[in-house]
Amino acid sequence: MVLVTGGAGYIGSHTCISLIDAGYEIVVFDNFSNSSHEGIKRVEKIVGKKIALVEGDIRNRKDLQSVFDTYNIDSVVHFAGLKAVGESMQIPLQYYDNNVCGTVALCEVMQKNGCKKIVFSSSATVYGDPETVPIKEDFPLSATNPYGRNKLFIEKILRDVHRSDPTWKVIMLRYFNPAGAHISGTIGEDPDNIPNNLLPFIAQTAVGKREMLNIFGNDYDTPDGTGVRDYIHVVDLADGHVKALDKIDNFKEVMAINLGSGDGYSVFEIIHAFEKASGKQIPYNIVARRSGDIATCYADTAYAEDILGWSAKYNIDKMCEDVWRWQSKNPDGYN
Ligand code: NAD
Ligand code: WQD
C-alpha cells in the first residue's frame, strides 16, 4: 500500500486519482492545515470508492506509527508541507518545523517499520536564479527564501539517509509551476486567502472575486518583459508520480528529476490563454517586480523522458480550460 502524505491537498488529491487508476492501493495522511475533507469526498466520487484516510500530523511519530500499524505500507509519496514563499519569510521557524522536522519524523518512522521507498515533492525553486535555461538536474542548487531552503535541506537529508543505508529508494521530483485541475471540474486548487500564484489569481479575477491582476514587472529581459515560467498540468504531474513509483525499484542512486513541460510562457501569454478559455477579460495593472522573482525558468525534460518515460501531455490552453471549469463551477472552492 502507498502512504500519501498531504494527499488531501492540491497535487496530492490529483495524484490519489492517478494512483488508484493505475491500480495502487493508497492511504491518505493529512492534518488538513491547507485542505478540506470535501476534497477527499470528491476524489472518492471520481474514483468510485472510499479512500482510506488518517487525520494526523507528520511531525507526530505516534500518528504516523498508527498508520504503519494499521496498514501494510511499502512506499510513501510525500506531499505534506507548507508551500507559500512569502509566508515562509514571515514564519520561517514554522516552515522548518513543519517541512524539515516533519520529513525527519516521517523518515524515522518509515525506517523503523522497514519501509524505505519515498517519492518526495521537491521544486524548481532549488535552482535559485539559474544562469541559463532550460534547467537541467545537475545545475547548481541554491535558495533565496526559507521555503526554498526547506526543499534544499530535505533533498540533502534524503541523500544522507540513502548514504547511511543504500537500500533506501529515493526519488525527488522537482516540479516547475503546477497548474490546471481535474477534467471533471470537481477538484482543483483552492487557496485559503489571496492567491500567491498566477493562475489561481487570474481565475479568481475572471470569476469576479478579485478586481484585477497585478502583473509583477514588465521590464524583465524576456520577449514581452513579463516573467516566463514552465506551467505543468497537475494531471501530468500526478502521472509523473505513478511513473516514479512504477520504476522506483530500478534505481540504486537517489534520483532528482524535473517535472515540467519544457516550454516557457510569459504572464501575458497566460492571460491571453485564460481569456480564450473563459471568454472573460482579465483586467490588469503593471506593478513593481515581486522581490525574489526571477525572469525566466523552464525545465530540460530529457531526463524525465529517459528515466521515467514521462513527458507532459497537456498544454497551456488545456490548463486554462480546466482551471476555468473548476473555478466557474466552484467560485468559493470547496466551501
Ligand atoms: P497543498 O497545500 O495543497 O497540499 C499540501 C497538503 O499537506 C495539505 O493538504 C496540507 O493540509 C498537508 N499538510 C501540511 N503540513 C502537514 C503536516 N505537518 N502533516 C500532515 N499534513 C500536512 O500544496 P500542493 O500545492 O498540493 O503541494 C504539495 C507539495 O508539493 C508540497 O510539498 C509543496 O511544497 C510541493 N510543491 C508545490 C508546488 C506548487 O506550486 N503547488 C510547486 C513545487 C512543489
Ligand atoms: C508566476 C509568474 C510572477 C502572481 C512559485 C514558487 C515556486 C513554486 C511555484 C513551490 C511570475 C507572475 C504572479 C501575480 C504576477 N512553488 N505573477 N502576478 O513565483 O514562478 O513560483 O510557485 O515550490 O517555489 O516561488 O509562481 O505563480 O507565483 O508566478 O505577475 O499575482 O507570474 O511574477 O513571473 P513562481 P507564481
| 3-state SS string for the chain | CEEEECCCCHHHHHHHHHHHHCCCCEEEEECCCCCCHHHHHHHHHHHCCCCEEEECCCCCHHHHHHHHHHCCCCEEEECCCCCCHHHHHHCHHHHHHHHHHHHHHHHHHHHHCCCCEEEEEEEHHHECCCCCCCECCCCCCECCCHHHHHHHHHHHHHHHHHHHCCCCEEEEEEECEEECCCCCCCCCCCCCCCCCCHHHHHHHHHCCCCCCEEEECCCCCCCCCCCEECEEEHHHHHHHHHHHHHHHHHCCCCEEEEECCCCCEEHHHHHHHHHHHHCCCCCEEEECCCCCCCCECCECCHHHHHHHCCCCCCCHHHHHHHHHHHHHHCCCCCC
Q: Which residues line the pocket of ligand 1, CB cutoff 6 A?
A: 5-6, 8-12, 30-35, 57-59, 79-83, 98, 102, 121, 123, 175, 178
Ligand 2 pocket, CB under 6 A: 83, 85, 123, 125, 177, 196-198, 201, 213-216, 227, 229, 267, 290, 293
Q: Whose Cα sits closest to atom 13 in ligand 2?
A: 198
At residue 261, the pLDDT reads 98
Q: Please tell me the residue having the least CA distance from ligand 1 atom 43.
A: 123
Backbone dihedral angles phi then psi of residue 245, each to the nearest 5 degrees: -65, -40
Domain assignment of residue 190, yes or no: no
Considering only CA atoms, which residue is closest to atom 28 of ligand 1? 79
Query: For the chain, which residues score pLDDT lower than 50?
Result: none
Ligand 1 center–CA 7 separation, angstroms: 8
Residue 325 in any domain: the answer is no
What's residue 19's pLDDT?
A: 99
- In the block, which residue shows the cell 537500500? 167
Q: Which atom of ligand 2 is nearest to the CA of 197?
A: 27
The closest of 161, 178, 57, 164 to 118, measured between CA atoms, is 161
CA 296 to the chain's CA centroid: 19
Q: State the catalytic residue, choosing from 147, 175, 265, 298.
A: 147
Residue 282 lies in a domain: no
Q: From the alpha carbon of 290, which atom of ligand 2 is closest? A: 33
In a domain, 64, yes or no: yes
Residue 165 pLDDT: 98
| Residue 24 annotated to the active site | no
Phi/psi for 69 (5° steps) reads -70, -35
| CATH number, position 126 | 3.40.50.720
Cα 232 from Cα 197, distance rounded (Å):
13
Q: Which domain holds residue 36?
A: 2-181+230-261+300-313
Is 292 domain-assigned? no
Within a domain: 187:
no
Question: What is the tally of structural domains in the chain?
Answer: 1
CA 247 – CA 210 distance, rounded (Å): 43
